[in-house]
Amino acid sequence: MEPIEQQVVSMPRIGDKAPEFKAVTTQGDINFPSDYKDKWIIFFSHPADFTPVCTSEFMTFAKRESEFTALNCQLVGLSIDGLFSHIAWLRTIKEKIEFKGMKNIEVKFPLIEDITMEVAKKYGMIQPGESTTKAVRAVFFIDPKAMIRAIIYYPLSMGRNFDELKRALIAMQTADSYDIATPADWQPGDDVIVPTAGSCGLAKERMEDKQEMTCYDWFFCTQALPLEKVKTK
């Protein structure tokens, strides 16, 4: 008996151009990502409408949307459910659900209909080990040049941490603006890591000059980046 061939879809990776598509959403038709030129995008999927974890996530995203808008970031959601299911679910959230002090929450960012799973497969949101018919909780950070900058995957059972999504966005924007890196557990206002010295002379100079930065060794130096400067970018 000959083995059954499985279609292999190459998942986009960090540094790739974000795959393009046209879609129907709860906010009208979109061309992705070109409709959001010059913006950051957080493109995220959820397994299904009318499920409790997804409901808690959409309420949280909707409540905090203005925070991401202030960071020049557009939220775009996706589910393999149909448009009318999306509309009914979002109406239910607004009219009936109260959770952690959130109520009358209106989801204003687009939620993509993907019944054919074409977009979900294109972005590697379908993980057969979890389910062959549900998108896992994927998050793609796409920069203003339509490049994928970060990818986070969560299992179906675990809700996302929205403070971390916002922190990751700010960290990438800060790294771009100041040509630095951010250390473990970095929060806006914490010290940042400066590029590693590229010559023996610069390494020696850094280790001897303690005024502008703190060097733990020649390859690991940090400097202050006040919160006010982070906010201005």
Residues carrying an active site annotation: 54
Q: What H or E segment, with its residue span, contains residue 165?
A: helix 162-178
The phi, psi pair for 64, rounded to 5°, reads -100, 10
Task: Give the C-alpha separation, 83 to 143, whole Å.
Answer: 27
Q: Residue 71 to residues 64, 90, 98, 123, 143: CA-CA distances in angstroms? A: 12, 25, 27, 24, 12
- For the record, the structure tokens of 21 come out as 């598509």
Judge contact between 45 and 155, C-beta under 8 A: no
